Every structure is written in C-alpha cells, then in structure tokens.
Amino acid sequence: MKSESTPTRKAPTAPLKNEKSVNITIVGVGNEFRGDDGAGILAVRMLKEKVPADVRTAELAGDQSGLLELMRSSDALVIIDAVRSSAAAGTIFRVDASEDPMPEHFFSFSTHAFDSAHAVELARTLKLLPRRVIFYGIVGKEFSYSSGLTQEVTESVNLIQTNIQNEIKAALQREAPVEDDA
Amino acid sequence: MKNKQARTIKVDYLARVEGEGALKVKMKDGRVDDVKFRIFEPPRFFEAFLRGRKYSEAPDITARICGICPIAYQMSSVHAMENAFGVRVDGQLRELRRLIYCGEWIESHALHVYMLHAPDFLGYEDAIQLAKDHPDAVQRGLRLKKTGNDLVTILAGREIHPINVKVGGFYKLPAKKDFVEILERLKRARDEAYETVLWTASLPFPEFEYDYEFVSLSHPGEYPFNEGRLISNKGLNIDIREYELIFHETHAYYTNALQSEMKGKGAYLVGPLARFNLNFEKLSPLAQKAAREANAVPPIKNPFKSIVARAVEALYACDEAIRIIENYEQPEKAAVDYSVRPGFGFGCTEAPRGILYHRYLVGEDGAIRDAKIVPPTSQNQKMIETDLRNFVTANIEMPKQELTLRCEQVVRNYDPCISCATHFLKLEIS
C-alpha cells in the first residue's frame, strides 16, 4: 500500500523521552552534495535535537546496504530518503514497510545502485527487518552537484519533523514491553 | 526471416549500476547497425569547481564525486599534489594508504559481486530474488562488505565522504590497538573471500572473448593501488605524466560523459580484469592459489569473468590488509612536511573500477589553476560499446528478452560508476 500525504503545519511538540529502552533509529539517506538528494541527511540532522538522546540518528550515503546493519540493531527504524517521481517536488510519501512491501516504482527512484527500497526488501527476505520500519520519501527536483535543497524540498524537510516525532512517540508506545499485572 | 527485420533492444534505466545510464542497440538486416551507451546524469563540472580552490581542498572536494569510491578520489588527488610539490610519502604512512584502499576495494567488490552482478549469472532479477534461494551467499557478501566499510571508517574518520586523508599523509593516525578487532574480522573475511572466488568461478559464463588492450598500473614490488607505471598487454609502458600524450577524451553527442580512447587505437579496458591479467604474479600467494583453484589464470579475455577477477582482488585486499596491520607501528608524525610550489602535479591510482587519473596546475598561492579528472567509467565507455556491438553480433539469433538481459550484463561486467563518469549514462537495445 502506498500512502501519499502532504503533512499539515503543526506547532513543535515538546521534547520526547524514551524511558522504555527501545532501540529506535532514524536514518537519513542521500548525498548532501547533490542538491535535493541531501533531503534525508538534512532532515535527520534537524531531528537530532528533537528526539530523545537514546534515539539513534544515522546518515548514509552511497549504496544503502548499510541500512541492513542498522536494521539488525533496531527495534524500530525510520528511513528518510529523497525520491524521484512524477509527483510535485516536495511531495512526501510515507510507507509502513513493516506492513507492506515497498512500492514497485520506488526501486527506480533512487540514484543509488543499491537503494533504500532494495535494502528494505532484502532485509525482509533475509528476515532482518525490525518490527517496525517506516519509510519517508521526499520528492526531489534537482539532483545535480550543488550545495543546497530546493525551496520545495526545504519546506518538506521542515514539515516532516513533526511527523517523525510522532512516529517516534508511536514506536515507543508500540514497542514498550507490556506490563504484566498478574 | 525474423532476424532480417529491424529490431531494437532498449533499456531505458540500467539497474544495478551506480548512477543512471541507458543502452540502445539497433539491429538491421541481421547485423548490428548502431550501439549507444549513454550517461545522462547532469554534468557535474567538478573540474571547473576546483579552479580557484586551495590545493588542500582537492582531496575532500573530489571525494564527493562518488559515494562508492571516495578513497580513490582522495588518493589520486593527494598523489597529484605531492607530485607537484616534490613530496614523497613512505614507510608506515604509505602502508596506511594501501590499507585504506584495501577497505575500499573489499566493500566495493563485495557489493558488485554479490548484490549487483551475481544475480545476472543465476537468472535473478536482483539481489532480493537471489537472497530467497541463496541467503547464505548474500549474507556472506554483506559481511564481507561491512568489513571493508569498517576498515575504511577506522582510517578515514567516516565511511562516506572521508575526511582524514590529506596531502602529505593523514590528519590523525590510528593506534595499533584500533586494529585489534578489525584484524580478527579481516581473517574471517579472508576465508569468506576465498569462498567467494570459488563461488564466482562456478557461475555459468556466456561464451565470449575479445582481444582487449588491458591497461593498468604496474609496480615492481606490489599489486598496484597507489603508484606505478601505466602498462598494457600491447606494449604501453609510460610514466603517468605521459597519460595525456597517449589517451584523450572525446564528447559523443548522445551521452553526457566524455569517452576516453587511446590516440590512434581506440577503446581499451581498465579495472579488475586488466589489473589481474597484467599483475597476476604480484598477487599474494593465497590469492594466486585461490585463482588457480578456480581455474582463473591470465590471460582471461572473457569480460563476464571479471566477476572472478573482482573476487580474487577482494581476497587479495583482505590478505594485504592483514599483512599491513600485523606489521603496523604508529609513526611519530601523521604527515610529512612539505612546501607548496607552483606547477603541474599528476596522480593515477587504481580505483576499484580501474585507473583514476588526476592532473592539477597549482599556482604560487597554492590555488588550483586547472584540474583534469578522468574516472575509470569514462575510460571503459567505448569498450562497453565495443563489447555490446560484438556480443550482439555474435548472438543475433538470441530471443530479444534474453539478449536484452545479456546486454545489461555486458554493461555490468564493468561495474560502471555513472555518477563518476558524469562530467555525464541509460541502456536501450533496438
């Protein structure tokens, strides 16, 4: 199932606390020196200050087989990547990869030889997928060598912050060990 | 008759190559009419971007050209600058440069062998499908790759866009204790790399050979990474300073990337197959033993067997890394002293995909006046087109779907890094 959404603007949420010892990782994927391809990297840098200190943040460029290593060591993983699409620049795609396979057309979006969609599906095949994997794809416009994001993608990187914080909250609730009252 | 009709094999997006490219082969009257291997990422203009920047920025700027082989760019640039300044880096610092290159070869070769190239031979669409039937092989490839990644991280500060390499040496040196854990993993990786050689040699290879001109570095005492003369199996033997006297680049209208050729000769082949064929006796005894056991001895003229050469090199890189680490003593200084002096500097090192040439002109003030970078994929482009033409000609009766897949495989024999070649690639067969 592919879901497509354009997040609404919300006030920043209060800092989150991870008191449940859940291994959560947020990873930004892309090359910050290739225009909008850096969207995931810059999004994760901004999130660093907004998520509990023990929520791991990571950056990956080049090929994405490194995602499999992050999956081995995470209960929940949020992946933020730039994608190519006929949709408007800045459009945000959200895929719950723990529930659904990565959409077919995502495999050709990435400029990477072994892209994040391949990494997710390879992990599923090898039974390495964590319990929860959420993929955010931001549609980019300009992927040539340059130093910054386009305006549309910058806005989406800002908008996505609240969504990811909510994902972390939800992951903490879902992944928390169930209290046994008996 | 069917093959008398005009046919087109066309692959709009080449999968499993780094970056974006396309292939188009046109057939008419039972023969190949036209072959175009296109690179269509936007031009990157790194050479122009370097002009006016300080010489010391070249390693970090050029490392950004490729997410797969940043070390190669750093190495060619620092060697070029050191060549300009008359600096010689020896001893343990030189060994560390070989070590960091070992890491890059292991990770790049493991990625290509297992994730990108092996599915072609076994009839799988990609590594995901391969993993369903061969999970142990894919896991082996992933472990091998991670060992290479981690070795690079120890030396480079970080795996992607490394920051620890500088003209004269390194910014910060690893202590001997930093290698304790990776040394044990490299020993396991070496065993798995040996298995990889035998596994790749067991793959079914299409019948295809060509009388290539193989070009690589050659060094009297070692399998080439950083230094050596440029040699070929057809008489080339030059100092790297003479590169531009022998090789030149042309711009074909249908591709963004410049295409290299040997003046008066045309296409040539760089990369693992060239290095393997020209430097076999410089491989470690273990790598030679594995190659012989796999029945892979030079000259190998079947480009599909480049996967075996790549696996042998991954084994060599593990073996060489172990040797360097076991002999490592931390030097007192992280870099040698030097003075900036104006002039031309030349660097040519062996990136995983083949020779990577850099030439700079540095001014009195240390600013880069001019830069030329020729990545391996630019050098192999013409050879890839030649292979496509010859392969399709030899297999003109093959059903279109199978021929298309084989043509993609022909391209992937070269592990083309289109991102690098894009100063400008995509696959169509018609």
Mutation for B interface: A31, A109, A145, most B CBs within 10 A: A145
pLDDT tens sequence across B355-414: 999 999 999 999 999 999 998 988 998 999 999 999 999 998 899 888 888 988 998 899
Q: How far apart are CA A170 and CA A126, in angstroms?
A: 26
Q: What is the pLDDT of residue B204?
A: 97
Q: What is the pLDDT of residue B66?
A: 72
**If you measure CA to CA, which chain A residue comes closest to B127?**
A122
* Between residues B305 and B13, the one the model is more confident about: B305
How confident is residue B296, by pLDDT bands cut at 50, 70 and 90? Answer: very high
Work out the average pLDDT over A111-125. Answer: 81
Q: What is the pLDDT of residue B140?
A: 97
Report ipTM (2 d.p.). Answer: 0.83
* Between residues A136 and B255, the one the model is more confident about: A136
Percent of chain B with pLDDT over 90: 72
* Between residues A34 and B347, the one the model is more confident about: B347
Collapsing DSSP to helix, strand or coil, B169 comes out as strand
DSSP one-letter string for B76-90? HHHHHHHHHHT----
On whether residue B287 sits in a domain, the answer given is: yes
Backbone angles phi, psi at A92, to 5 degrees: -110, 125
Percent of chain B with pLDDT over 70: 88
Shortest CB distance from A65 goes to which of B49, B66, B142? Answer: B142
Shortest CB distance from A121 goes to which of B67, B128, B146? Answer: B128
How confident is residue A1, by pLDDT bands cut at 50, 70 and 90? Answer: very low
The CATH number that applies at residue B97 is 1.10.645.10
pLDDT tens sequence across B242-283: 999 999 988 777 766 778 999 999 999 999 999 999 999 999
How confident is residue A4, by pLDDT bands cut at 50, 70 and 90? Answer: very low
* B185 CB within 8 Å of a chain A CB: no
Range of the domain at B266: 49-395
State the architecture of A23-175 in CATH terms.
3-Layer(aba) Sandwich (3.40)
Q: With the C-alpha atoms ordered B258, B263, B266, B268, is the resulting torsion angle positive or negative?
A: negative
Q: What is the mean pLDDT of chain B?
A: 89
Would you tell me which residues 291-350 of chain B have a C-beta closer than 8 angstroms to some C-beta of chain A? none
How do the domains of chain A map onto residue ranges?
23-175
- 8 Å CB contact of A59 and B20: no
How many domains is chain B built from?
A: 1
Shortest CB distance from B116 goes to which of A31, A113, A126? Answer: A113
Q: What is the mean pLDDT of chain A?
A: 80
* B125 CB within 8 Å of a chain A CB: no
* B82 CB within 8 Å of a chain A CB: no
- 8 Å CB contact of A122 and B17: no
Q: How far apart are CA A46 and CA A31, in angstroms?
A: 16
**If you measure CA to CA, which chain A residue comes closest to B422?**
A144
Q: What is the pLDDT of residue B72?
A: 94
* B12 CB within 8 Å of a chain A CB: no
* B256 CB within 8 Å of a chain A CB: no
- CA B173 to each of CA B91, B121, B360: distance values in angstroms, whole numbers, following the listed order: 14, 42, 27
pLDDT tens sequence across B9-23: 566 555 545 555 677
pTM equals 0.89
Q: How far is B255 from chain A (nearest CA, A)?
A: 16
Q: Between chain A and chain B, how many beta carbons pairs sit less than 8 Å apart?
A: 75
Token duo for residue B258: 């410049």
